[in-house]
């Protein structure tokens, strides 16, 4: 995808998702993801008239003078988007690839956060961490997030992290490297990176096809500190194959190739059953571990699964 095509695609996503955010998701994001109300700021000497319930007895005991805890109102949230850019995400049998669907989802979430004056950050990962954009506010920053998801791996200028990121670009330069064509997905490493760069609690959407193994524990560990939501993106041809005779299928991440007879109803039924079981088992394991789960079909709507998730979270918060 050339730079001009990327910019055109970003504009298309901006127009479409902007309307969807305004018409469908307005209020849903705010009602589900709320600030913590107040957070601790500092301690200061006690002044007559202060509420005695705010006295910090530990500091008072150490200093020999009364001190009180000071709190400030905290409403701003941090949205962290963890986007899988491994080779399998480039697959698409309809009008959009899984990577394009990922970009559209990131746009919906980023623009929803921007409307609520929240910060948005982005991490691109596959077998390692390719790029990290620290959380910031503003629509211009949200557009950059969408552009990076689409552009990564394309023929684009090397300067993916501008100088404006300052020390962040220098600190994480070692995490960025060109993506090999057959790199696999390592969600555990992505979660380790999240924990290393996000000191404060954030809302984290992990968008991937989850073609990985032994990653549940990493998601659960990250979910203990952050609000982690796993978003599975699949293509219809990954769940079922048409009858077209002998075909050679190549694993986009491992490079392994094999010939299959799609004319065999037994093969097609077996593949469909295994694929559906993978989705069903992944959802069951994550939900049982306390990690929320969203499944998005690359050939379908991105908004509808997101709205269902928001409504589910809102109902759960009322219990």
Task: List, for residues 69-120, the tens digit of each pLDDT value.
Answer: 876 545 578 999 999 999 899 888 888 899 999 988 998 898 888 888 889 9
Is it the case that residue 51 has pLDDT exceeding 70? Answer: yes
What's the pLDDT at 38?
56
CA–CA distance, 272 with 295 (Å, rounded to integer):
16
What's the pLDDT at 314?
84
Is it the case that residue 247 has pLDDT exceeding 60? Answer: yes
| Topology given in CATH for the domain delimited by 3-34+77-318 | Rossmann fold (3.40.50)
Is it the case that residue 188 has pLDDT exceeding 80? Answer: yes
CA–CA distance, 296 with 93 (Å, rounded to integer):
15
What's the pLDDT at 164?
39
CA–CA distance, 170 with 240 (Å, rounded to integer):
45
Domain boundaries for CATH 3.40.50.410 within the chain: 3-34+77-318
Q: With beta carbons less than 8 A apart as the criterion, state whether 148 and 91 touch.
A: no
- What are 193-227's pLDDT values in tens digits? 999 998 888 999 999 999 998 999 999 999 999 99
| Burial of 313 per CB tally in 10 Å (0-12, 13-18, 19+) | middle
Is it the case that residue 175 has pLDDT exceeding 70? Answer: no
What's the pLDDT at 2?
47
| Burial of 280 per CB tally in 10 Å (0-12, 13-18, 19+) | exposed
Using pLDDT thresholds of 50, 70 and 90, give the confidence band for residue 315: confident
Using pLDDT thresholds of 50, 70 and 90, give the confidence band for residue 26: low
| Average pLDDT over the chain, rounded to an integer | 82
What's the pLDDT at 67?
93
Using pLDDT thresholds of 50, 70 and 90, give the confidence band for residue 1: low
Query: Which of 166-170, 176-180, 237-241 shows the lowest mean pLDDT across its residues?
Result: 166-170
Which sign, positive or negative, has the C-alpha torsion 224, 225, 227, 230? negative
Backbone angle region of 277, left / alpha / beta, with phi > 0 → left and psi within -120 to 50 → alpha: alpha
What integer is the mean pLDDT of 255-267?
89
- Give the β-pairing of 227-234 and 292-297: parallel
Is it the case that residue 170 has pLDDT exceeding 50? Answer: no
CA–CA distance, 33 with 25 (Å, rounded to integer):
12
CA–CA distance, 37 with 17 (Å, rounded to integer):
29
What's the pLDDT at 168?
36
Q: What's the pTM? A: 0.77
Is it the case that residue 22 has pLDDT exceeding 70? Answer: no
Q: Helix H segments across the chain?
A: 3-20, 28-32, 57-63, 98-115, 139-151, 167-171, 187-197, 216-225, 236-239, 265-288, 303-318
Under DSSP, the state recorded for 21 is I
Buried b vs exposed e over 247-266: b needs ≥16 C-beta within 10 Å? Answer: eeeeebbeeeeeeeebeeee
Most confident of 144-148, 163-167, 183-187, 282-286: 282-286
């Amino acid at each position: 995808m050339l730079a001009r095509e990327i910019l055109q695609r970003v504009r298309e996503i901006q127009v479409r998702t902007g309307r969807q955010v305004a018409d469908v998701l307005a209020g849903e994001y705010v009602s589900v993801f709320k600030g913590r109300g107040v957070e601790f700021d500092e301690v200061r000497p006690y002044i007559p008239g202060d509420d005695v319930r705010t006295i910090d007895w530990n500091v008072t005991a150490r200093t020999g003078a009364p001190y009180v805890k000071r709190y400030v109102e905290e409403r701003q949230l941090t949205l962290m988007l963890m986007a899988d850019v491994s080779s399998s995400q480039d697959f698409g049998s309809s009008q959009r690839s899984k990577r394009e669907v990922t970009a559209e989802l990131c746009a919906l979430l980023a623009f929803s956060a921007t409307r609520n004056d929240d910060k948005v950050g982005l991490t691109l990962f596959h077998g390692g961490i390719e790029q990290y954009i620290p959380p910031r506010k503003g629509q211009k920053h949200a557009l950059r997030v969408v552009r990076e998801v689409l552009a990564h791996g394309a023929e684009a200028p090397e300067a993916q992290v501008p100088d404006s990121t300052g020390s962040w670009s220098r600190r994480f330069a070692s995490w960025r490297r060109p993506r090999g064509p057959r790199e696999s997905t390592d969600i555990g490493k992505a979660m380790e990176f999240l924990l290393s760069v996000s000191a404060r609690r954030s809302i984290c959407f992990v968008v991937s096809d989850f073609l990985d193994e032994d990653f549940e524990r990493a998601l659960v560990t990250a979910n203990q500190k952050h609000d982690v939501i796993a978003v599975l993106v699949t293509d219809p041809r990954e769940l079922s194959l048409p009858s077209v005779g002998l075909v050679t299928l190549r694993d986009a991440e491992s490079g392994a190739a094999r010939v299959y007879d799609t004319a065999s109803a037994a093969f097609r039924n077996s593949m469909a059953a295994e694929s559906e079981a993978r989705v069903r088992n992944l959802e069951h394991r994550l939900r049982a571990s306390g990690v929320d789960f969203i499944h998005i079909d690359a050939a379908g709507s991105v908004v509808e699964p997101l709205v269902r998730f928001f409504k589910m979270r809102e109902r759960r918060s009322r219990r």
